[in-house]
Structure 1
Amino acid sequence: MSRFECAGLTPSGNGFIVTRDPDDLRALLGRSDQDNELPSGRVPLYTCSLCGDFGCGVLAVRVTYDRDTVRWTDFAWESESEPVLGPSPDYAALPAIEFDLVEYETVLRQLLR
Structure 2
Amino acid sequence: MTDRLDEGQAQPPIRGLSTLGWAWTSYEQTDTVMRLFRKDLSTTRQVAVVEWLIDGEPFTERMRFPNGTPCNDMTLMHDAPHFPPAAVASLRALLSMAGPEQEPVDFSDGRVGLLFCHQCGDLYCGAVSASVVVSDSTVEWRDIAYQDGNTEEIGDAEVAAFTLTFERAPYESTITALIEDWTARSEDQRASTSTP
Q: Residues 76 and 90 of structure 1 are in contact (CA less than 8 Å); yes or no, is this contact kept in structure 2?
A: no
1:95 maps to 2:95: no
Partner of residue 73, structure 2: 16
Flag the 1:108–1:51 CA change in 2: closer, same or farther, 3 A. same
Flag the 1:78–1:17 CA change in 2: closer, same or farther, 3 A. same
Deviation at 1:94, TM superposition (A): 4.2
Partner of residue 82, structure 1: 151
Distance in 2 of aligned mates of 1:58 and 1:25: 15
Please tell me the residue identity of whatever aligns with 2:88: P
**TM-score, normalization by structure 2:** 0.45
Within-5 A mapping of 1:1-113: 15-20=72-77, 21-32=87-98, 35-84=104-153, 88=155, 90=157, 93-113=160-180
Distance in 2 of aligned mates of 1:101 and 1:91: 30
Deviation at 1:90, TM superposition (A): 3.3
Q: Which has the larger radius of gyration?
A: 2
Deviation at 1:46, TM superposition (A): 0.7
What are the Cα deviations for residues 28-75 of structure 1, in whole angstroms up to 9, with x where unaligned? Answer: 001036943202211001111211111111000111011100011112
The total of aligned residue pairs comes to 102
**TM-score, normalization by structure 1:** 0.74
Q: Unpaired runs of 5+ in structure 2?
A: 1-30, 33-45, 47-69, 78-86, 181-196
Flag the 1:92–1:17 CA change in 2: closer, same or farther, 3 A. closer
Partner of residue 187, structure 2: none
Please tell me the residue identity of whatever aligns with 1:50: Q
Tell me which stretches of 4 or more aligned residues in structure 1 moved more than 6 Å.
Answer: none
Partner of residue 3, structure 1: none
Q: Unpaired runs of 5+ in structure 1?
A: 1-7
Flag the 1:89–1:81 CA change in 2: closer, same or farther, 3 A. closer
